[in-house]
Every structure is written in C-alpha cells, then in structure tokens.
Amino acid sequence: MIGRLNHVAIAVPDLEAASAQYRTTLGADVGPPQDEPDHGVTVVFITLPNTKIELLYPLGEDSPIRGFLDKNPSGGIHHMCFEVEDILAARDRMQAEGARVLGSGDPKIGAHGKPVLFLHPKDFNGCLIELEQI
C-alpha cells in the first residue's frame, strides 16, 4: 500500500546552520525556508536524486517541534513520509489494522500542497509516520 519514500524529516535547533551545512559541506540542493503555520513549522527541503530531506524548525510557541527539540536539543530524525495513492483509503486500512491516526483523522494540506496524515509512533516501532497522497 505505501509507495515511495517521499522524505525523511529532521528537527533542527538552527535552521540556517543546518541548511548551510547541507549546502556547503554536502553540496546538496537546498531550497528556501517555507513557513507552514497549520503544522507549526518552518521547513527547508533538500532535494536528493532518490528522495528529499526535510529540515524542521519550530514556528510559534505551540509548535510540536519545540517539544521534540526540548527533549533532543541537538535535533534528530522526527519522521518518515511515504506516498500513498488514496489517503482516505490508506487511513481506513491503517485504522482497520489497529494503527492510530493522530489528530482528528482528517487529512491536512502539507508542505507540498497535498493531503497528509500522521500515524502514531507507538504503532510503528517508535517512528512517527507521515502519509502523503500523490
């Protein structure tokens, strides 16, 4: 059911420094910062030949990334995002299998302008999973 790995998201304590490190040290194609107020984050996408890296930085006091960085001050992998053809069908199947969808269960529009859902990390070996409709 899941498709291609769309991106791996890394929470970072300093978005400019992390972006510069990927750009200069690794020679990566680093995009501009993009505020996502509905998700409480500022993101930067790094485009790789086979997937993307998403750098996450808190946007506002209620950002879920702020809590993550409080527990992990140096940052770290926050989630993995997989593509699905039909996000509602994927949600229904996941829930039927016992997976918990975070929030209301209704998709939100993500940073790529497509519907996304998040699945509880306790149901996936401690890893937060994002599903994005292609």
Active site residues: 130
Cβ atoms of 131 and 81 within 8 Å: the answer is: yes
Distance, CA of 88 to CA of 84 (rounded, Å): 9
Query: Where would I find the H helices in the chain?
Result: 15-20, 64-71, 87-96
Distance, CA of 27 to chain centre: 22
Tokens 């300093």 -> residue: 14
Distance, CA of 33 to CA of 11 (rounded, Å): 14
